[in-house]
Amino acid sequence: MTGEKATMDAPQIYVERTLAIVKPDAIHKSEEIEDIILRSGFAILQKRRVHLTPEQASDFYAEHYGKMFFPSLVAYMSSGPVLALVIARDQAISYWRELIGPTNAVKARQTHPDCLRAVYGTDDQRNALHGSDSFSSSEKEIRFFFPDSVIEPVPVGQAAKDYLAKAVNPSLLKGLTELCKQKPIDPVIWLADWLLENNPNKPKVRQIVVQEPN
């Protein structure tokens, strides 16, 4: 991957960062799109113009590997330069997704005519722009284009929802289900003990057998 990288310090008021990509079919409109991004309340923290190789495009879209559209997606994303931007503002992930609109640019022109994909996109694949769909995706995708980027954990908004869904809710749901079955006198203490005992991240300690000397 080749290209130049520009960085600037992020103001403390921003609570989310996300990755935006101006794709090959819209790269000639990149300055215009950057202006829209800024006027929509985002700060552009980093940007990099690159021409992805097919291998790099495959890595970036690895989650779609095996799907019928994967080869044409890789060919499209490696057909010309793209502009990758780290943008930030309050609720950046959801706001940027709303701003770019539905994935299919043709349908977007019917249902969301003012969204960016409706304005700059061509069809369901050449849809002009990309936006990360979650905090975990944005973290991974930002590091793909900006390996040295430091992404501070965000304990609010989408980041908190993603963290709870992945790390807390599965264990908590099991504990609450068992709590309803047992109906203990002190449910809070019982649940606390159950969580301590059934913590999936709790290290397993092997029992050490000590032999007494003869």
Map out the domains of the chain with their CATH numbers: 5-152 (3.30.70.141), 160-197 (no CATH)
pLDDT level of residue 72 (50, 70, 90 thresholds): very high
Q: What local confidence, expressed as pLDDT, does residue 86 receive?
A: 95
Q: How far apart are CA 16 and CA 155, in angstroms?
A: 10
Has this prediction a pTM greater than 0.85?
no
Q: Which of 134, 138, 173 is nearest to 152 (CA)?
A: 138
3-class SS of residue 108: helix
Q: Is residue 28 annotated as part of the catalytic site, yes or no?
A: no
pLDDT higher than 60, residue 145:
yes
Query: pLDDT (tens digit, 9 = 90+) per residue, 31-71?
Result: 999 999 999 999 999 999 999 999 999 999 999 999 999 99
Task: Single out the catalytic residue among 51, 64, 112, 130.
Answer: 130
Judge whether 129 and 112 are in contact, CB under 8 Å: no
